[in-house]
Structure 1
Amino acid sequence: MGFVGRKLELAELGKQLDVVRRGRRADRGVAVMIRGRRRIGKSRLVTEFVRQSGTPNVYFQAARRAPIGAELARLGDAIAESGLPGSDLLRGARFDSLTQALGLLAQTLPVDSPSVVTIDELPWLLEGIQGGAGELQRAWDLHLSQKPVLLLLLGSDIGMMERLTAHDQPFHGRATELVLRALNPKDVGEATGTAGFDAFDAALITGGQPLVVQEWEPGMSLEDFLRDSFASPTSALLVNGARVLDSEFREGDAARQVLAALGAHGERTFSGIQQVVGSSDGMGAAQLARILKTLAEKRVIAADEPLSARPAPKDRRYRIDDPALRFWLAFVEASSGDVDRGRSDLACRRVQDGYSAWRGRAVEPLVREALARLLPDDRWPGAREIGGWWPRTNRPEIDLVAADKRPAKRIVFVGTIKWRQNKPIKPEEMSALAADAASVPGATPKTALVAVCPAGGGAEADAVWTAEDLMEAWP
């Protein structure tokens, strides 16, 4: 299977290249910052874009914690190997600074036709240079932006990539930002030959990770894919999550214990996480709070708060937000020993026994994302925030809440998610939702009641969305 998805991203890069090609701006060059989690396909996207555009290009990927002198020398080699005019003169060149290296790069770029320059893992390059962001800004303003070049700056350290364009940073206002996320369920469905309910299954299991999705051949069932993946210790399903985790956290790191509590044990509250990691590692509340904050800044986890007319920050709950790790932490990591000793059947059985219950919870963020994309619409013009609601005790727990803002001035609807393929919403389930809705601050007896169920049904509901309906959220 070749390159999958990313139609919107390729179109956006093509639009930026057209801006360069037309040359109607004061600065002839255009910079784009592309950020996204590890192994999400940033490098592959750029490679495919350059291939399709046929534009002369330079590609350089920085290495983490490498000596800066060696990195700048590698940058010179990348320029020399690009085939750009005069690039051979830089073979074996040594630079004293990033400003010098990028200035000489600018001299090799064509003056009458567009080119593409890619610096992959920009944060790793800049972390070894004191004042590196300032040098990048200087080289862009003085040299690169004067040429018809599309400068693509890639990075997996999302926090640092965001800081580079903050208002108090040198590169502020100089780059368009493009966020690369996991492949959405529609893209996954098209790549795997699945639709509706089955496409959501494929998205949950693969995490929308391109390398994993590519191994799901069209026509494969969920069981086929898992059997083939667990039968090979080198399959993308087994390897991808481990590499994402290992790239950021050392074995035995306290952060990994927290992730295990969230992903493998299913804990979501601060106290629940602390009970798991504190009992084994003696982790205190202050240390746990710091780790959760760091993981949230890295977009590895998300902290959700109840949505209602009343703020409730103390009722915050945590979940794995990185799609590459959700299924992997829940099922794959625990199966690595079985796979290594040739017992892939045990790994498959572990998924078979726990997948249905796990899916019911794991699909909720995808459902909320889909509704947030679909709404507001003509029927629900006030539905500008989509979330859920729960009290400190977690009883009752409302899967869906739509509101005009956060905290809400008006609750538009409350809803339930029953992720079933063959059993429609039952009347008694809507009655239970009506009773539970009375607990939501801001809800009234007139608040609409809705449901999400792949099997449909729910004549008593004001609206029901199926899996196929949700798919329309993604173009």
Structure 2
Amino acid sequence: MVVFQGRATDLALLDRQLRLVRDAAATTRGQAVIVTGRRRVGKSRLVQEFCDRSGVPYVVFQASRGRNPAAERADFTAALAQSALPGADLVAGAAGTDWNQTLRSLTVALSEQTPCVVVLDEVPWLVEQDSEFEGALQTVWDRYLSARPVLLLLVGSDLSMMESLQEYGRPFHGRAARMLVRPLDPADVQRMTALEPAEAVDSFLITGGFPEIVQRWRPGTSRTEFLSDQLADPLSPLVMAGELALLGEVPEPSHSRSALEAIGTGERTFGTIANRVGVGNPIPSGTLAPILNTLVAKRIVAVDTPLSIRPDTKNKRYRIEDPYLRFWLAFLHRGVPEVERGRGDLVAARIERSWTSWCGRAVEPVIRASLERLLPDDRLPGAETVGGWWNRQNNPEIDLVGADRTPRVAFTGSIKWLATEPFGQRELESLIAGSMSVPGRDYPTPLVAVSRSGVEEGLPLAASFGPEEIIAAWR
């Protein structure tokens, strides 16, 4: 059995909710948590691990997509009867004609004294199957379950659907806390791969922190060795997980899939994405805008705007939010046929040829997020958020801008993520020249650098950060 690693913060959050149930320390004895996150991020494994460690009776029910609601209700009741819940034997053979009756059988299986955990996994599929499920859940929760010592975990991968469960006007509004399960962070990846900080960042950019991929990275293995090994196996999760993720989010070939592919291979502006999707004949903005909005709502695509004292919300840059999917779309999407015919070496060679330039761009959002996690920090005085800045021509383009809520530009900075060259005088001069174009930046504004290979001595920088600090920000 694979040893569970990482997720200490997530497990602690769930344990805190269970303590509220145990201690009757909240306004209701029962507590509900909506647990959501991208597909294949490890939600179900996390919840199972929590249940196993909890020391209390639990039941986990996994919904099936597109199933007949009556069959689903029967399976739910069977899961209750076969569980370790205190009253499990009392519901054996029970049959509910609707979800209201079926969920009430859960009340029978629970105890009035013993804390229990109930997990409903893939809740969006239950909602799809039966439009009455949400209302039944709210009714049974309000009348029965909230008074019992139960921690109810509602798990689902459709981020927009799971978030909508809490919207005003929906039956379960205001009844559950929300927990977003993210991929493993760079510090977790370093611990699992036993790599030096710089190499651990590379590992994070390739695996995206997805547990099933990180677990394939044998401790101490270099990037090139890992890729050579995994690309020799067509069934490797590194190769397969990207297509499975796309099928879960965008099941059919469509403009949405084409837009994702365009962004994943480097197109960042609305115009270039439209041109790429239309194969040289740009698709109308009225068609592309809703597609991009949906992809952003699903947390597949992220949209950035320049950070300065002068907001420019129309000057958007799009990127794939998940580092692994960004890597997969850039290198593996078109390379899967070669891997399947035993020529993963060709894919590995292409990755190696493009690695430096691809990595230099792909690491930017990770570094911004890392610096933002360090705030407040005396090395970055006054900064409350970290972004970048660019004009419409991307000339100049400033990698790092820190600002406060005023907004006031607190610092500008540059990223140099090369394995052999430190940040030097040439990079400093380019940063100084480009920074003067940032609205709100003046001569005394501090300058910072992030470099994989260190910084030359004597440069007038307010602060510099290396791979060690980037990893440490996540601890």
Superposition TM-score tier, normalisation by shorter sequence: over 0.9
SS at match of 2:234: coil
Residues 116 and 246 (structure 1), Cα distance of their counterparts in 2 relative to 1, 3 Å cut = same
Q: Distance in 1 between matches of 2:60 and 2:93?
A: 17
Following superposition, the deviation at residue 379 of structure 1 comes to 4.1
- Please give the per-residue CA displacement for 1:412-441, whole angstroms capped at 9, x wherever unaligned: 001000012332111121111101111111
Q: Which residue of 1 aligns with 2:441?
A: 443
Following superposition, the deviation at residue 321 of structure 1 comes to 0.6
- Aligned pairs for 1:86-105 within 5 A: 86-105=87-106
Q: Which residue of 2 aligns with 1:319?
A: 319
Give the conservation status (yes or no) of the 8 Å contact 1:262–1:319. Answer: yes
SS at match of 1:31: strand
- Aligned pairs for 1:105-184 within 5 A: 105-184=106-185
Residues 437 and 114 (structure 1), Cα distance of their counterparts in 2 relative to 1, 3 Å cut = same
Give the conservation status (yes or no) of the 8 Å contact 2:32–2:176. Answer: yes
Q: Which residue of 2 aligns with 1:33?
A: 34
- Aligned pairs for 1:259-274 within 5 A: 259-264=260-265, 266-274=266-274
Q: Which residue of 2 aligns with 1:44?
A: 45
- Aligned pairs for 1:247-286 within 5 A: 247-264=248-265, 266-279=266-279, 283-286=283-286
Matched residue type, 2:157: S
Give the conservation status (yes or no) of the 8 Å contact 2:91–2:109. Answer: no
Q: Which residue of 2 aligns with 1:58?
A: 59
| RMSD over equivalenced CA pairs, Å | 1.6
Matched residue type, 1:40: V
Residues 425 and 149 (structure 1), Cα distance of their counterparts in 2 relative to 1, 3 Å cut = same
Matched residue type, 2:242: G
Q: Distance in 2 between matches of 1:93 and 1:234?
A: 42
Matched residue type, 1:402: G
SS at match of 1:313: coil
Q: Distance in 1 between matches of 2:298 and 2:9?
A: 24
Q: Distance in 1 between matches of 2:281 and 2:16?
A: 51
SS at match of 2:32: strand
Runs of 4+ in 1 over 6 A off after TM superposition: none
Give yes or no for the alignment of 1:410 onto 2:408. Answer: yes
- The total of aligned residue pairs comes to 472
- Aligned pairs for 1:323-338 within 5 A: 323-338=323-338
Q: Distance in 1 between matches of 2:415 and 2:220?
A: 28
Following superposition, the deviation at residue 134 of structure 1 comes to 2.4
Give the conservation status (yes or no) of the 8 Å contact 1:10–1:45. Answer: yes
SS at match of 1:412: strand
Give the conservation status (yes or no) of the 8 Å contact 1:390–1:398. Answer: yes
Q: Distance in 1 between matches of 2:177 and 2:27?
A: 16
Matched residue type, 1:447: T
Q: Which residue of 2 aligns with 1:393?
A: 393
Give the conservation status (yes or no) of the 8 Å contact 2:268–2:317. Answer: yes
Q: Distance in 1 between matches of 2:34 and 2:231?
A: 36
Q: Which residue of 2 aligns with 1:348?
A: 348
Q: Which residue of 2 aligns with 1:363?
A: 363
Following superposition, the deviation at residue 362 of structure 1 comes to 0.5
Following superposition, the deviation at residue 32 of structure 1 comes to 1.1
Q: Which residue of 1 aligns with 2:453?
A: 455
- Please give the per-residue CA displacement for 1:89-123, whole angstroms capped at 9, x wherever unaligned: 43454322222111111111122211110001112
Q: Distance in 2 between matches of 1:371 and 1:85?
A: 48
- Please give the per-residue CA displacement for 1:342-379, whole angstroms capped at 9, x wherever unaligned: 11111111111111111100100100000111012234
Give yes or no for the alignment of 1:221 onto 2:219. Answer: no
Following superposition, the deviation at residue 304 of structure 1 comes to 0.5
Following superposition, the deviation at residue 323 of structure 1 comes to 3.1
Q: Which residue of 1 aligns with 2:422?
A: 424
Q: Which residue of 2 aligns with 1:4?
A: 5
Residues 391 and 349 (structure 1), Cα distance of their counterparts in 2 relative to 1, 3 Å cut = same
Following superposition, the deviation at residue 160 of structure 1 comes to 1.5
Give the conservation status (yes or no) of the 8 Å contact 2:323–2:362. Answer: no
Following superposition, the deviation at residue 88 of structure 1 comes to 3.6
Q: Distance in 2 between matches of 1:378 and 1:423?
A: 27
SS at match of 2:391: coil
Matched residue type, 1:419: W
Aligned-residue identity in percent: 47
Give the conservation status (yes or no) of the 8 Å contact 2:85–2:116. Answer: no
Q: Distance in 2 between matches of 1:81 and 1:258?
A: 46
Give the conservation status (yes or no) of the 8 Å contact 2:379–2:462. Answer: no
Q: What are structure 1's unaligned runs of at least 5 residues?
A: none
Q: Distance in 2 between matches of 1:16 and 1:229?
A: 39
Give the conservation status (yes or no) of the 8 Å contact 1:102–1:144. Answer: no
Q: Distance in 2 between matches of 1:370 and 1:322?
A: 15
SS at match of 1:5: coil
Matched residue type, 2:53: Q
Moved more, 87-96 or 179-188: 87-96
Q: Distance in 1 between matches of 2:242 and 2:200?
A: 20
Q: Which residue of 1 aligns with 2:239?
A: 238
Q: Distance in 1 between matches of 2:118 and 2:73?
A: 15
Matched residue type, 2:86: P
- Please give the per-residue CA displacement for 1:129-174, whole angstroms capped at 9, x wherever unaligned: 2243222111111111111111111111111211212233332222
SS at match of 1:279: coil
- Aligned pairs for 1:73-88 within 5 A: 73-88=74-89
Q: Distance in 1 between matches of 2:27 and 2:346?
A: 63
